[in-house]
A and B are shown apart, each in its own frame.
Chain A
Amino acid sequence: MKTKISIFLLVAFATSVLAFSHFSSPGVPEPWTTQQLLNPADLAKTLNNPSAPQPIVYSVGMQAIIKNSIEIGPAMMKENLNSLKSKLEKLPKNSNIVIYCGCCPFERCPNVRPAMELLKTMQFTNYKLLNLPQNIKVDWIDHGYPLSE
């Protein structure tokens, strides 16, 4: 129990420190390019068409809300990032991969950057970040896009 509480404290502390400091510092380039931002409408269209080639979609946030997505857990936590890493190690470098979190606006999200940095470091060539600039509610659920059961 004590460990759990101290983990929570650590996470809360790290979130606040990170959220209010270097997250989207001006001048520091984001670990993704504009071309790597995937339009939610495009992903929704693909997910709604089972005959289309499907990407592997990882939730690196609180909950795998998007249909057929795989829950990793918050990527800001090392254990979750390691679990993502071990899943990625089994995939070809040109796999079609989509990352999303959707808890908060990008500038405050503690999870998307570690995940995108990992994919970059592992030299994947075909990965995207789902463009949820506000959050998963406003940019996905409110549009009626497909949800997990």
Chain B
Amino acid sequence: MRKLILLVAIVLSGSYFLNAFAQKQGLEIGDKAPEIAFPSPEGNTVALSSLKNKLVLIDFWGTWCAPCVKEQPELAKLYKKYKNTSFRNGKGFEIYGVSLDAKEENWKNGIKTLNISWIQVSDLKFWRSPVAKTYNIQELPYNLLLNGNGTILAKNLHGSELEKMIIRFMK
């Protein structure tokens, strides 16, 4: 009988933890950002982890996403302003643009037309890209701000809210 009670207790607590785990969707502030390693327009794989020791904004976007396209000039301003700034946990600010484009031509033309000078990568898999799942992306645009260790500092901030957050982490 005792064994049975113990068994029931183990099963119940196990299912409780599994359930708690399943309910935790996506990534939270303080979590480590999972690795992304996709090709750049030139065909070189650029890993997110190669940007250690910098403040990094992961910008999930697509040339087919109107609000994303509209945001690029704002990101360009932030990039220009802060790329050489020293932060509490990193030297310099970098943007890691991950496009959910489907067509290489649209993606490359978009980068050219919008004059984007920061890192751009894409696996050209549209919403089927594995990052849409690992980062639990619900809608574009979506972004994450990471510190020099790749830990998430902020989620989905735009405009002045994003700049305020960048300033908060300045040395």
Residue positions of A touching B, CB distance < 8 A: 4-5, 8-9, 12, 15-16, 18-20, 61-63, 65, 74, 102-105, 108, 110, 134-138, 141-142, 147
Contacts and interface: CB of A to CB of B under 8 A. Distances in A.
B92 interface: no
B139 A15 contact: no
Contacts of A147: 128
A104 B127 CA distance: 10
A65 B67 contact: no
B98 to A, nearest CB: 14
A74 B63 CA distance: 12
Interface stretch (B12-20, B41-49, B104-112): B104-112
A4 B107 CA distance: 12
Nearest to B103: A62
B127 A65 contact: yes
Interface in B94-120: 101-103, 105-106, 109-110, 112-113
Interface of B: 62-67, 69-70, 101-103, 105-106, 109-110, 112-113, 126-128, 132-133, 137-140
A91 B101 CA distance: 31
Nearest to B124: A63
A105 B64 contact: no
Contacts of B62: 62, 103
Contacts of A61: 64
A62 to B, nearest CB: 4
A5 B112 contact: yes
A141 B69 contact: no
Nearest to B109: A8
A61 to B, nearest CB: 8
Given A4-B109, A12-B110, A134-B139, A108 B67 contact: yes
10 contacts: A4-B105, A8-B110, A16-B69, A62-B102, A102-B127, A103-B65, A104-B65, A134-B139, A135-B139, A137-B127
A137 B112 CA distance: 27
A108 to B, nearest CB: 7
A137 B127 CA distance: 6
A138 to B, nearest CB: 6
Contact of A65 (B128, B133, B138, B139): B128
Contact of A137 (B102, B105, B132): B132
A128 B138 CA distance: 24
B66 A16 contact: yes
B70 to A, nearest CB: 6
A139 B67 CA distance: 20
B128 A15 contact: no
A143 B112 CA distance: 36
A130 B153 CA distance: 37
B126 A63 contact: yes
A135 B102 CA distance: 15
Per CB-CB distance, the 5 closest pairs between chain A and chain B, nearest first, are: A19-B66, A137-B127, A63-B102, A8-B109, A62-B102
